[in-house]
Structure 1
Amino acid sequence: MVGRRAFLAGLGAVALAAPTATAWASPGRRSAQAGLPLTVVNNSGEFGNGSIRMYIVGSDLETKTQSRVTADGRLVPVSLSDNGSDGFADYAIPLAGSGETMLSLPSMSGRIYFALGGELKFRVVADGNGNPALQYPAGWVESDPNFRLLHDSVEFTYVAPGVGDLNPGMYCNTTMVDQFSVPLAIRLDGSRFQTTGTLVAGGRQKIFSQIRAQAGFSSLVVDDLRVLAPGHGLDAGRFDSGYYRSYVDKVWHTYRGTDLRIRTNRGLFTGRVDSADQFTFLSDGGERTAPFARPSTRDVLFCDGALTSPNDGITGPVGAILAAGLNRSTLHSHADQPTTDAGSFYRDPVTNHYARIMHANTVDGRAYGFAYDDVAEYASYVQDGSPSRFTVTLTPF
């Protein structure tokens, strides 16, 4: 399954709110006829089409250059000369005057942003090698010029037939990994019809009110603009940096004398916490993972640091399942991972209540509340090897 990790890799390991280093080449301009039909539907009920701007930005899959899509569906490399007199690049694509907006989506890996009631500010900068790189909006950073603007995005990788040695298809998701602001749903037509991301009736209001009511999480709500993911909240001083300490301690204590069994596509890995206070796993095929140190709260929320999961087929999948078990608070109670019963998720008082609330307010129970929410396929993600149309809907507030 191609999860959010693959999207970020496709974006060139984008460091949001910071310059993105990319290789530079001059690919010219792409034909609008080669893309995947994209339909945008505004059912927000709060904003008319004239008040909404769309932005499609990301990475060219062939040249690896940071690029943006024009209103006629061309994929164009970003350039320092795109910055206007105010220092920002205007990549806005207005929605149609009324009804649905139609566009051709080129082969690329990126994001479709929507700004409601204003325009997003993107800036093109030079990376460490002097090549053009794009600074993305970071709605969780108060100093970001987009902080007071209502905006959100969906992520996708569209591989047209014949692009390098990549498998053709559309891989897409709605994401709350960084923040939740605008309710968005996606539909993918192809070999079958698929949809995800739709909230329950009144879902946006319920998410805001339930997080405001959750002890320790209430400060993640920023007015009526957005809810910050707790990892970003931690960095902003809005969330307790020691929140997960007691739960991690409980897990580490449990598995000093008991096996934790993790099954991946590679087989069964069995591990314990050793005398060096590290978790190490050995597969039934004799493969040993890199050791996992005791993670901090920040490591758990970002699924990073001590839980960094390399793309090696061994340590990576085990680390992803560890991170999912910690966010869902199933590791202490379930020695066989990954757990697949959603009824067992988020039962411990110390858990990722942000992710819990996101899942509780989606029609299909799927959401991207943290980076490894694709473990056991609970992410708001769909894919198709022969897509025919992609639809993004701004659903009712």
Structure 2
Amino acid sequence: MFDRRSFLRGAGGAALAAPILGSAACGASTGGAKLTAGDKAASAGALPVSFTNESGYPDSAVRLYIVGTDTATGKQGRVKADGTFAPVRLSDNTDGGYTDYAIPLSEAGGLTLPFMSGRIYLALEDKLRFKVVEDGNGNPALQYPAGWVKSDPSFGVLHDTVEFTHDDSGMYCNTSMVDQFSVPLAIALSGEQEQSTGRLKPGGRDMVFDAMLNDPDYSPLVVGDRRRVIAPGHGIDSGRFAADYFDPYIEQVWSRYSGTDLKVTTNAGTFTGRVNGSGQLAFDGGVAPIAKPSTRDVFFCDGALVAPNDGITGPVAAILGAAFNRATLLNTADHPVAEASAFYNNDIHNKYAAVFHEATEDGRAYGFAFDDVSGFASYIQDHAPASFEVSLTPF
């Protein structure tokens, strides 16, 4: 299984890494084309993608961008309106120094998705500024928009994404609020079964912004007149959010587990840990010691809570990251916690993530990088996908 979190963390920094997961689009009610056997032979892996525009914005205001990495070659590229993958080139920077990879919604009928891993960006009213640059090896690489960075040329553009990986084993996709939230999106996948996720309740977008604006700690994360809300980790980096927000809770957790065993159960077994004399949370069973995290580490699920893809330390760190964000570590010493009613009950918790779970119809969202712990992420997969649908839902 691919590692979604490595991309989510990477996207939180610079916008140069090619996504491992990402897909979104939204727009018009243009139906995805049905492929014949001959079509599939000509375009290996082509998955019909359709788009529904329920936003209230006209179709003429919607642009789609499908960008990422070819799963066979590892090359970064973009999908053209005919469904083919084109590697990025420095010469693509033709629009004032930026690329023009937009697919107008009116031209998205019959669009297909090749085997690749990446994102579909949805932009309203204006273009997104993608730029092709050279990576450290001198190869063309795509610089992505960073909606949480005020100096980014796409900062003023209303946009959002869904993430995906589509390869010969299936289609894996999710909506994401890990970095920021602007546009309410939903996804649906047909194949072995019918699945959907991401749809907000009626008035859900206002619910999110109301919750942020009514909390003095979180209100600085709102940009413009409800144009977007930035994730708290990025808020710390930009001076919008307190870098010590989680510190009192972290201290309480470290104090508790200095004298009490913490048990974390993963697919590899149950690991028992306790804070040692060096101030590290030390587990048995070969789990690497975990240092006391900072507030930034908690929000980004990184730093002290980084989850290596090793099958041992990684899953333990992921469960701890989720427990910190959901504020369940003082309630029980046995993790993960699988009951949603136990989440977000401490005064200090990730309120940004919490409100998305409250605002979605199925209670699932990707509000932080380890939100998939215990199955609460807005994520779906299918090993025999027949069609993929993305909806720009009502504001």
TM exceeds 0.5? yes
The residue that corresponds to 2:4 in the other structure is: 4
Pair 1:131 & 2:133 matched:
no
Q: Distance in 2 between matches of 1:230 and 1:90?
A: 31
The residue that corresponds to 1:313 in the other structure is: 311
The residue that corresponds to 1:54 in the other structure is: 64
> Which amino acid in structure 2 is aligned with residue 48 of structure 1?
P
Indicate how the Cα distance of structure 1 residues 355 and 65 shifts in structure 2: closer, same or farther if over 3 A, else same: same
1:250 Cα deviation after fit: 0.2
Describe the SS at the equivalent of 2:348. Answer: coil
Q: Distance in 2 between matches of 1:31 and 1:121?
A: 31
Pair 1:77 & 2:77 matched:
no
The residue that corresponds to 2:155 in the other structure is: 147
Q: Distance in 2 between matches of 1:272 and 1:206?
A: 39
Q: Distance in 2 between matches of 1:188 and 1:255?
A: 43
1:7 Cα deviation after fit: 5.1
> Which amino acid in structure 1 is aligned with residue 230 of structure 2?
L
The residue that corresponds to 1:113 in the other structure is: 121
1:381 to 379, 382, 387: 379
- In 2, are the aligned partners of 1:262 and 1:318 still within 8 Å (CA)? yes
1:205 Cα deviation after fit: 1.2
Describe the SS at the equivalent of 1:201. Answer: coil
The residue that corresponds to 2:257 in the other structure is: 255
Describe the SS at the equivalent of 1:110. Answer: strand
The residue that corresponds to 2:36 in the other structure is: none
The residue that corresponds to 1:26 in the other structure is: none
CA-to-aligned-CA distance 1:97-151 (integer Å, 9 cap, x gap): 7xx8331100000000000001111000001111100000100000000001100
Q: Distance in 2 between matches of 1:205 and 1:73?
A: 35
Q: Distance in 1 between matches of 2:17 and 2:379?
A: 25
Q: Distance in 1 between matches of 2:110 and 2:367?
A: 29
The residue that corresponds to 1:191 in the other structure is: 192
Q: Distance in 1 between matches of 2:310 and 2:14?
A: 28
- In 2, are the aligned partners of 1:7 and 1:155 still within 8 Å (CA)? no
Describe the SS at the equivalent of 1:195. Answer: strand
The residue that corresponds to 1:298 in the other structure is: 296
The residue that corresponds to 1:170 in the other structure is: 171
The residue that corresponds to 1:19 in the other structure is: 16
Indicate how the Cα distance of structure 1 residues 158 and 21 shifts in structure 2: closer, same or farther if over 3 A, else same: closer
* Deviant stretches of 4+, over 2 Å: 1-4, 6-9, 13-22, 30-34
The residue that corresponds to 1:164 in the other structure is: none
1:381 Cα deviation after fit: 0.2
Q: Distance in 2 between matches of 1:58 and 1:369?
A: 22
The residue that corresponds to 1:240 in the other structure is: 242
The residue that corresponds to 1:25 in the other structure is: none
Consecutive unaligned residues in structure 1, runs of 5 or more: 23-29, 161-167
Indicate how the Cα distance of structure 1 residues 31 and 51 shifts in structure 2: closer, same or farther if over 3 A, else same: farther
Q: Distance in 1 between matches of 2:368 and 2:157?
A: 23
How many residues end up aligned between the 2 structures? 373
The residue that corresponds to 1:208 in the other structure is: 209
CA-to-aligned-CA distance 1:175-223 (integer Å, 9 cap, x gap): 0000010000000001100000000001111111111112300111112
Describe the SS at the equivalent of 2:255. Answer: helix
Q: Distance in 1 between matches of 2:280 and 2:340?
A: 28
1:273 Cα deviation after fit: 0.3
Q: Distance in 2 between matches of 1:54 and 1:327?
A: 32
Describe the SS at the equivalent of 2:328. Answer: coil
1:90 to 85, 89, 100: 100
Indicate how the Cα distance of structure 1 residues 146 and 31 shifts in structure 2: closer, same or farther if over 3 A, else same: farther
Q: Distance in 2 between matches of 1:8 and 1:62?
A: 21
1:3 Cα deviation after fit: 6.1
Q: Distance in 2 between matches of 1:156 and 1:303?
A: 20
> Which amino acid in structure 2 is aligned with residue 19 of structure 1?
L
Describe the SS at the equivalent of 1:101. Answer: coil
Indicate how the Cα distance of structure 1 residues 137 and 21 shifts in structure 2: closer, same or farther if over 3 A, else same: closer
- In 1, are the aligned partners of 2:63 and 2:103 still within 8 Å (CA)? yes
Q: Distance in 2 between matches of 1:199 and 1:17?
A: 29
- In 1, are the aligned partners of 2:18 and 2:118 still within 8 Å (CA)? no
Q: Distance in 1 between matches of 2:76 and 2:196?
A: 28
Describe the SS at the equivalent of 2:111. Answer: strand
Indicate how the Cα distance of structure 1 residues 305 and 357 shifts in structure 2: closer, same or farther if over 3 A, else same: same
Identity, in percent, stands at: 55
The residue that corresponds to 2:25 in the other structure is: none
Q: Distance in 2 between matches of 1:93 and 1:85?
A: 15
The residue that corresponds to 1:165 in the other structure is: none
